[in-house]
Amino acid sequence: MSNVKLAVIFYSMGGTNYQLAQWAEEAGKEAGAEVRVLKVEELAPQAVIEGNEAWKATVEATKDIPVATSEDIEWADAMIFSAPTRFGVMPSQMKQFLDIQGGIWASGKTVNKVVSAMSSAQNPHGGQEATILSLYTSMMHWGAIIAAPGYTDPVLYGAGGNPYGTSVSVDQDGNMVEDVKDAVKHQAKRTINIAEWVKKGNQ
């Protein structure tokens, strides 16, 4: 059994990153970690959401998932962030969540948290890697430890695998064009393993 507390923090408009978060949760529980799945606060006007059936359906599907807070960051030993790309960077919803953590950052409460990230876009070169790297830039400022997948398992050479973090393309109907479940689960378990080493070293 792992003694790691894992927060899986996502933003999802069409459901893809919610699914990635669910697979990360599954892997975390398989590894024995205590897992919280959390969404970041939606900032888009309700009228805009109502005009997009996929977005509206995702909001409904995730309505009972708690909104991530600073307390969740303090609680977690490890965090996995999952968000779609918006013009090559993370969406404003995820960025705001990170931006309002100045209080806990200033008091050193983000130091040595183990973090990893995942993303999606509508084509294979739509900015997924840049989005993941934009998340990691913030994590460097936090003093966090980035647990990138690297090429640490054969699964990373297949669907969704890359050295930065799992990324997936979706078609015009919002369906994933690759099965990236194994890549997500490897990434989550690697993140937990690294967090275990960090916790052991701090004891």
Number of domains in the chain: 1
Structural domain that includes position 149: 5-202
Question: What's this model's pTM, rounded to 2 decimal places?
Answer: 0.95
Q: What is the chain's alpha carbon radius of gyration, rounded to the nearest angstrom?
A: 16
One-letter amino acid of 81: F
| CB environment 106-144: b (16+ within 10 A), e (fewer) | eeeebeebbbbbbbbbbeeebbbbbbbbbbbebbeebeb
CATH of the domain at 69: 3.40.50.360
Picking from 21, 33, 37, the residue whose alpha carbon sits closest to that of residue 185 is 21
pLDDT tens string for the chain (203 positions)?
779 999 999 999 999 999 999 999 999 999 999 999 999 999 999 999 999 999 999 999 999 999 999 999 999 999 999 999 999 999 999 999 999 999 999 999 999 999 999 999 887 777 899 999 999 999 999 999 999 999 999 988 877 778 999 999 888 878 888 889 999 999 999 999 999 999 887 76
